[in-house]
Amino acid sequence: MRKKFEDITVITEREMYNHAMLYVDRLINEATATGALDEQGADNEYTREIGRVGNMCADYESIYMTFKHLKSKSTLITEPA
């Protein structure tokens, strides 16, 4: 596994965030193909790297991105009184 973003501890630019998300997706695909994610709670180089970069992406999202709340119709059925 070739690591990227080793010298980065925080993501502050959208372009870097996009690259990091692509990297995490590639890591997940590679780890799945090699069986590194077969065991629940596995601790290996893939899970540590996915967690490290994923946390930086999550921090970027919480600071710099605004998401619209999803609206959904209530699934509860109520009868008229």
User: Could you read off the pLDDT tens digit of each residue along the chain, which spans 81 residues?
Assistant: 788 989 999 999 999 999 999 999 999 999 999 999 999 999 999 999 999 999 999 999 999 998 777 677 666 666 665
Distances (CA, A) of 67 to 20, 37, 60, 62, 80: 19, 29, 13, 9, 35
Task: Return d(Cα 13, Cα 56) in angstroms, integer.
Answer: 12
Cβ–Cβ under 8 Å, residues 34 and 50: no
pTM of the model: 0.78
- Mapped onto helix, strand or coil, the DSSP state of residue 68 is coil
- 54-69 pLDDT, tens digit each: 999 999 999 999 877 7
Name the nearest CA neighbour of 54 among 13, 14, 25. Answer: 25
Residue showing tokens 């699934």: 75
